Amino acid sequence: MIQRFGVSIDDALLKKFDNYIERKGYITRSEAIRDLIREALINESLEMENPDVFGTITVIYDHEVRGITERITHLQHSFVKEIRAAIHVHVDEKNCLEVVIVHGKAKIIKEIADRLMSMRGVKNVKFQVTKVEP
C-alpha cells in the first residue's frame, strides 16, 4: 500500500533538493525522498540495534611502510567469519587499494574498519555498510 503525504519546505531548500535529484538521476521527488528515509532508518538501526550488515571497507595504504601488508593480512585472518572477500589493486609504485567485502554484526564490522584506520601506513579508509530489509 502506498501512502501520500505533504511536505512543507522553503524555496531555497527545495531548489537545492531538486538539483540533488537531477544530479543523482531520480525521476521523481518521491523516489529520492523514499531513498533518503530508508538510509536514515538504516543508519539509526546500525547505531541502536547492532544488526547483521553487508558492506565494504575500502583502504588505501602505503605498501612501503614496514609490515603494513602483513598487519592487514593478519587482521583479515582474525575476522575470517566476517570477511567474505578482499580485492587488492596496485595503485602505483607506492600505494595499494584494498576493498574488503564484509558481512556480520555492525559493531564487529565497524571494529574491523576502525582497526584498519588506526594502522600506521594507512592513508584513507572508507566504510560503507547497509542491512537487508525484510
Q: How far apart are CA 103 and CA 131, in angstroms?
A: 9
Domain architecture of the chain: domains with CATH: 11-48 (1.10.1220.10), 52-130 (3.30.70.1150)
C-alpha cell, 63:
605498501
**Amino acid (1-letter code) at residue 77:** H
C-alpha cell, 23:
544530479
pLDDT value of position 134: 61
Provide block-wise average pLDDT over 10 residues at a time, the chain (134 residues): 90 94 94 91 81 94 96 96 96 97 93 95 93 69
- Across 108-121, b (16+ Cβ under 10 Å) vs e yields ebbebbebbeebeb
- In the sheet that 83-90 helps form, which strands lie side by side, from edge to edge? 83-90, 95-105, 52-62, 122-130
pLDDT value of position 81: 96
pLDDT value of position 73: 95
pLDDT value of position 130: 83
